[in-house]
Structure 1
């Protein structure tokens, strides 16, 4: 098999494994706090009403701590072993909802946090071992685009199970009294619906265990990361600790915090706010529509939709070519301009955050993330079309931010790629943990103002890091050329 075909196979299998584990995790994140709240309302002594938020805070706390040790564990293990362990943890978490127990819930949350750290480090290391400098951006995109189909599959699962388990909502002509009673409550999940969703999510996650076990282990020629172990556990731990305060990674801190705040908000906090809005009680397919829109946004971004828009913005910012000429040249230039996985993609991600935050701000009650509410929004009511549009931009923003972070981490510290992946994920997890811990007391407008401001600041700082990285690569290339010339002369 040709090396490029082998790289594509590895990236595709990794993406499929991501798809399997994220079908359950992402879809369950949309409804976790609402599910916990429903269990609490039926049995208040069984679980706290905010255990959904706190459980996710525990996940990211374990994730953050594990990131410090994960590179050291990688040096005494393999990326495949980490991926298999992560798939097991992703399977156990939804499995616990078949017969809910608060102790197993928090135990599986800790295990899932550890597995998440192992997954992202294993994914980054595996891609680096099976990519060259010329193919890393393409392989990251392929892996993410396959993996992001999880949201669309999750949408199908959510819609199918909801249609089987939720009773038909009466119309006004049929029974106006029953309909009025229905709208007095937020969206609630029955025990039967919870068990069916949990079984489906667990089954999908179990497929990832098999997929990761079957992935090829052999590295490609001239790969970014060698499979050879250069450090022991202690040496690697020291290297990780020094990387935490590396000036190059500290400059990426705003980007990683943005990624954490962004994913926490669009993946869990905003979906909870929609379910907690009592006027949305009749919109029983909110999670399915939301998942479908986010999935389309993610996949279209990876397949080039974002790149083509980014090319226009890039040319407008760096030349005096007219808008008409740029429009004609978009398709060709998007394939030829180097570095489109960095600056232009970051611009689109930041703009998408601003757009969806604006739409969320005008359509969602301010107290909805904190508690079930009958409060009205400041302008428009939510419906399926608006929810789809919001989620579409959420998907684009997540794809762009995750993509640029994955690429820059592979380039900014060439000698410490595993450590840079882990440290940036640690920053990301800290941001997520903070978001979820304070979610029960933070009103909506804090998120919708902070996220756009942070996205704009992160973009400018990210541009600086990219410019410095390009300069560093140019110097390294010049030095290598000088060495080669000297060898030829000798």
Structure 2
């Protein structure tokens, strides 16, 4: 099989496997805060209030700590088998919802943090095996374009379960002001999500291992290191000057991730106006976000061919602009306290499906652009240490996400918007300087490799 065809095959196969894994993750994260609040209302001794936010925070803390473990695992394991391991832990996490309990839930979130970093790093490293520097941004965008259909699958699943299994039979009196999830509905959701995890696991096991000629992985050869050397290398990468200058970019990515995956979807379910008038609103959010992500994936490929290094400055500045617009629209159209608790209040503009879908589309587009940009940047920061670089990026993203999740029960939509806008502006201002440093180093390296003329 020619390398060009092989690249397309791997892109599709990896994208479909990621679709199944993300279907489970997306659906569970969108509903987690409201779903566990419903479980708390049914039995306060089973799960604490705001367990959805706090569980996500524990997962992010675990993800940060596992930054020191994952590169060691990848030192002895091929990326595809690391993905198999990560998918197995995903399945364990999903299975924990069959019996909701504080100890089981938070323990599963700690394991999930390890799986998250493992999958993030192994996935990014695996992409480098079937991509060249020229095609990495394109392949990454296409993989995420396919994987983004997990949002469509999640939406379809939400519609099916809400229309056939939603029940208020076990709903305590007076709790109808938010999106309530019955025990039967909760178990039905997670049966479907568990099956999706198993399909992803099986597909990961059949990933091909061949590298294309001039792959990014061959330009960043992985060295076998001892356990002590590996830990030292991970620490050294975390404080590497080229990593440190991109910290604002990683922190901004972590905040944005927390917002679109959990904070904003929770506000749709805690708002009385939205939850009562639009029972399928979370599905609409998933569908429209999927459209934004897919369209971004379709546009990046031709733009990447037309413009030199489109995956660096142009793609990231597009992302910054979309994020700022998203925060403005969300602040105007969502009840201020709906991010933290069930509320009957209104918003500056009347909450509606139109505004939710507008925000969802913008966030889907920005997310796809953000991930593609991150893949390109991390592949070039520390030559020969790609897996460490992806882990370092995930570490700094996780630090911010964990802080915002711990604080979310106390933050309004406007408070989130101020924090996010500030982080985005700081990231945009520092990004050009950081990229120039990387480009200057690459130019010096190329000049050193040129043969000296007689």
Q: TM-score range by the shorter chain?
A: over 0.9
User: Given that residues 183 and 279 in structure 1 are in contact (C-alpha distance below 8 angstroms), is that contact kept between their aligned partners in structure 2?
Assistant: no
1:390-417 residue CA offsets vs partner (Å, 9 max, x unmatched): 1111112212222211110001212221
1:246-301 residue CA offsets vs partner (Å, 9 max, x unmatched): 11111111111111111101110111112111122221111101111111111111
CA positional deviation for 1:363 = 1.5
* Structure 1 residues 260 and 341, CA gap change in structure 2 (3 angstroms): same
Instruction: Show the counterpart of 1:335.
Output: 305
Alignment size in residue pairs: 447
Instruction: Tell me the distance in 2 between the aligned counterparts of 1:198 and 1:28.
Output: 8
CA positional deviation for 1:143 = 1.6
User: Given that residues 79 and 123 in structure 1 are in contact (C-alpha distance below 8 angstroms), is that contact kept between their aligned partners in structure 2?
Assistant: yes
CA positional deviation for 1:13 = 2.0
Instruction: Tell me the distance in 1 between the aligned counterparts of 2:26 and 2:18.
Output: 11
User: Given that residues 53 and 440 in structure 1 are in contact (C-alpha distance below 8 angstroms), is that contact kept between their aligned partners in structure 2?
Assistant: yes
Instruction: Tell me the distance in 2 between the aligned counterparts of 1:456 and 1:252.
Output: 14
Instruction: Tell me the distance in 1 between the aligned counterparts of 2:236 and 2:126.
Output: 23
User: Given that residues 183 and 281 in structure 1 are in contact (C-alpha distance below 8 angstroms), is that contact kept between their aligned partners in structure 2?
Assistant: no
CA positional deviation for 1:221 = 2.5
CA positional deviation for 1:129 = 2.2
User: Given that residues 68 and 423 in structure 1 are in contact (C-alpha distance below 8 angstroms), is that contact kept between their aligned partners in structure 2?
Assistant: no
* Structure 1 residues 341 and 228, CA gap change in structure 2 (3 angstroms): closer
In structure 1, stretches of 5+ residues that fail to align are 169-180, 309-330
Instruction: Tell me the distance in 2 between the aligned counterparts of 1:48 and 1:193.
Output: 20
Instruction: Show the counterpart of 1:299.
Output: 294
Instruction: Show the counterpart of 2:236.
Output: 242
Instruction: Tell me the distance in 1 between the aligned counterparts of 2:163 and 2:405.
Output: 30
* Structure 1 residues 184 and 3, CA gap change in structure 2 (3 angstroms): closer
1:466 aligns with 2:435: yes
1:477 aligns with 2:446: yes
- Report the 3-state secondary structure (helix = DSSP H, G, I; strand = E; otherwise coil) of the residue aligned with 1:134: coil
Instruction: Tell me the distance in 2 between the aligned counterparts of 1:127 and 1:453.
Output: 32
Alignment of 1:160-309 (within 5 A): 160-166=160-166, 185-226=177-218, 229-282=223-276, 283-304=278-299, 307=300
Alignment of 1:318-329 (within 5 A): none
User: Given that residues 48 and 102 in structure 2 are in contact (C-alpha distance below 8 angstroms), is that contact kept between their aligned partners in structure 1?
Assistant: no
Instruction: Tell me the distance in 1 between the aligned counterparts of 2:189 and 2:354.
Output: 24
- Report the 3-state secondary structure (helix = DSSP H, G, I; strand = E; otherwise coil) of the residue aligned with 2:69: helix
CA positional deviation for 1:439 = 0.8
User: When the two structures are superposed, what TM-score results if normalisation uses the length of structure 2?
Assistant: 0.94
Instruction: Tell me the distance in 2 between the aligned counterparts of 1:244 and 1:199.
Output: 39
Q: Which of residues 398, 417, 422 in structure 1 aligns to 2:386? A: 417
1:159-192 residue CA offsets vs partner (Å, 9 max, x unmatched): 1111112369xxxxxxxxxxxx999511101112
Instruction: Show the counterpart of 1:57.
Output: 57
Instruction: Tell me the distance in 2 between the aligned counterparts of 1:68 and 1:117.
Output: 10
Report the more deviating stretch, 391-400 or 253-262.
Answer: 391-400
- Report the 3-state secondary structure (helix = DSSP H, G, I; strand = E; otherwise coil) of the residue aligned with 1:352: helix
- Report the 3-state secondary structure (helix = DSSP H, G, I; strand = E; otherwise coil) of the residue aligned with 1:482: coil
1:172-229 residue CA offsets vs partner (Å, 9 max, x unmatched): xxxxxxxxx9995111011121111111111111111111100012222322224764
User: Given that residues 187 and 281 in structure 1 are in contact (C-alpha distance below 8 angstroms), is that contact kept between their aligned partners in structure 2?
Assistant: yes
Alignment of 1:320-399 (within 5 A): 335-377=305-347, 379-399=348-368
1:423-462 residue CA offsets vs partner (Å, 9 max, x unmatched): 0110011111111111111122111122122212212322
RMSD in angstroms over aligned alpha carbons?
2.0
CA positional deviation for 1:370 = 1.5
Which runs of at least 4 in structure 1 moved beyond 6 Å after TM superposition?
Answer: none
- Report the 3-state secondary structure (helix = DSSP H, G, I; strand = E; otherwise coil) of the residue aligned with 2:131: coil
Instruction: Tell me the distance in 2 between the aligned counterparts of 1:167 and 1:74.
Output: 45
In structure 2, stretches of 5+ residues that fail to align are none
Instruction: Show the counterpart of 1:9.
Output: 9
User: Given that residues 38 and 189 in structure 1 are in contact (C-alpha distance below 8 angstroms), is that contact kept between their aligned partners in structure 2?
Assistant: yes
Instruction: Tell me the distance in 1 between the aligned counterparts of 2:296 and 2:95.
Output: 32
CA positional deviation for 1:472 = 2.4
